[in-house]
């Protein structure tokens, strides 16, 4: 028997996962807004995954260091917020609340006829992302199978000339030629 098949441990694990989700919200705030995150400066593989594992404050004589910079604003902070959303939804599903159903409702814009974007298996505790599979197929077609037209710009407007006339500026207004122009 699995631990997630019994009711009481499932609720306890769900509450713990929700608490970890709220911890990720705090870490996301620290990363995105304040520009800092904490990491363990020991063995390299643990150092790379340590920002997502550390949730308690550091001690006096600890190997936990604080890093500040654009990496925290651009990459680490948003990934903490994504982890927070997934943890809170998974914990809500384990407790018995509609976490993943609500997330799908938000992603699909309230349209129930659209297919499921994210699914969570309560028995195994695994996420499945059908949205990523559908989006990757469309992205591949747009990037690698799309033919670039030479007579239109990026927005589909027809291009008449590549370079403007000598007597017009970039806005298309006529200008007098200056004696210092070549």
CA separation for the pair 7, 59 (Å, rounded) = 36
The overall average pLDDT reported for the chain is 82
CB 78 within 8 A of CB 28: yes
What's this model's pTM, rounded to 2 decimal places?
Answer: 0.68
- Range with the poorest average pLDDT among 16-25, 53-62, 105-114, 146-155: 146-155
Distances in Å between the alpha carbon of 84 and those of 55, 72, 154, 174? 12, 16, 36, 56
Enumerate the domain spans of the chain.
3-136
Residue 92 has pLDDT above 80, yes or no: yes
- Look at residue 148 in the predicted model and tell me its pLDDT: 66
CA separation for the pair 67, 137 (Å, rounded) = 37
Closest CA to 52 of 37, 32, 63: 37
Residue 20 has pLDDT above 60, yes or no: yes
Q: What is the dihedral of CA 156, 159, 163, 168, to 10 degrees?
A: -100
DSSP secondary structure, 94-112, as one string = HHTS-HHHHHHHHHTTT-T
Average pLDDT over residues 94-104: 89
């Amino acid at each position: 028997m699995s631990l997630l098949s019994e009711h009481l441990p499932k609720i306890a694990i769900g509450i713990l996962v929700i608490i970890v989700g709220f911890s990720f919200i705090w870490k996301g705030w620290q990363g995105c807004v304040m520009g800092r995150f904490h990491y363990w400066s020991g063995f390299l593989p643990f150092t790379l995954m340590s920002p997502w594992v550390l949730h308690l404050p550091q001690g006096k004589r600890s190997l936990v260091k604080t890093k500040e910079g654009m990496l925290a604003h651009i990459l680490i902070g948003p990934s903490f917020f994504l982890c927070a959303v997934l943890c809170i939804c998974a914990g809500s599903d384990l407790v018995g609340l509609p976490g993943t159903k609500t997330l799908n409702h938000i992603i699909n814009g309230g349209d129930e006829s659209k297919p499921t974007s994210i699914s969570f298996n309560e028995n195994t505790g695994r996420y499945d992302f059908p949205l990523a599979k559908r989006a990757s197929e469309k992205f591949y077609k747009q990037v690698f199978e799309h033919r670039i037209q030479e007579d239109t710009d990026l927005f589909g407007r027809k291009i008449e000339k590549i370079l403007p006339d000598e007597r017009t500026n970039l806005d298309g207004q006529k200008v007098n030629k200056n004696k210092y122009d070549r």
